[in-house]
Amino acid sequence: MSRIGKLPIEIPKGVKISFSDSVLSVHGPNGNLSRQIMSNISLTISDSVIVVARCEETNSARSAHGLTRTLINNMVVGVTKGFQTNLEINGVGYRAEVKGTELVLSLGYSHPVNFLIPDGISIEVEKMTKLSVKGFDKELVGQTAAKIRSFRSPEPYKGKGIKYADETILRKAGKTGKK
C-alpha cells in the first residue's frame, strides 16, 4: 500500500466536492478546479474526508495511487489557501513591471519581453526585482514561474538572470589572466 496514497484528505469548511463520470470537481473560496481521475483509482467521499484507493493491484494502479492522492490534495489546498512562487531578478538594469494583464521584463535584450499573464494567476512586483506568482492551481503557478524564468536563466559566472528565491546558483571560476 502506498504510504502517501493511504492518507485521508481532510475537506475544510467552505469546500464543496463533486465526483461524477470520473471527473472530480473542487469548489472553494479561491476558485474551482476539476480533474479527470483514472479508471483504476476509486474515491470514497464522506462528510469531511476523501479516501483514495486502488481498484486493482496492477503496476499502473500502484503508481497512480499516491499521485492521485497528491493531486487531489493540491486541488483542495489550492482552492482554500492558494500557492505562491517567488522569483528574483539579478543584473544591472534588469527589472519587471506589471501593465494591465502583461508582465513587462527588461532583461538586457534590445527589446522588452512582454508576457501575457494567464487567467487564474496574479503577479506582484516588489522593488522591480522581486516577483511573486500567485494562484489556486499549483501546476499553473509552477508552469508560469518556469516560463518567466526561461526568458533569462541565471548564468553561472555572475549569476545574472531570473532565479527562484530559494535557488542557489553554482558559480564557476572565470578565466584567469596570463602569467
Structural domains counted in the chain: 2
Residue 177 domain flag: no
CA distances from 88 to 7, 32, 124, 173, 177 (A): 35, 29, 12, 23, 32
Do residue 59 and residue 111 come from a single domain?
A: no
Statement: residue 145 has pLDDT above 60: yes
What is the predicted pLDDT for the residue at 177?
A: 60
Residue 171 domain flag: no
Residue 75 backbone phi and psi in degrees, to 5 = -65, -45
Please give the residue range of the domain that contains residue 93. 83-164
Do residue 74 and residue 89 come from a single domain?
A: no
Considering the chain, what percentage of its residues have pLDDT values greater than 70?
97
Q: How confident is the model over 13-51, as pLDDT tens digits?
A: 889 999 888 899 999 998 899 999 998 888 888 888 999
Statement: residue 1 has pLDDT above 80: no
Which residues, other chains included, contact 172 with Cβ-Cβ below 8 Å and sequence gap of 6+? Answer: 156, 157
Residue 3 domain flag: no
E strand intervals along 37-101: 41-45, 49-54, 83-90, 95-99
Using the structure block, give the residue that is written with the C-alpha cell 528574483. 88
Residue 95 domain flag: yes
CA distances from 1 to 27, 42, 51, 162 (A): 29, 14, 13, 41
Statement: residue 103 has pLDDT above 60: yes
Question: Which of helix, strand or coil describes residue 165?
Answer: coil
What is the predicted pLDDT for the residue at 5?
A: 83
Residue 16 domain flag: yes
Task: Identify the residue with better confidence: 175 or 111.
Answer: 111
CB 64 within 8 A of CB 41: yes
Which residues, other chains included, contact 145 with Cβ-Cβ below 8 Å and sequence gap of 6+? Answer: 85, 87, 133, 164
Do residue 106 and residue 60 come from a single domain?
A: no
User: Final residue of a domain: which of 58, 80, 102?
Assistant: 80
CATH of the domain at 149: 3.90.930.12
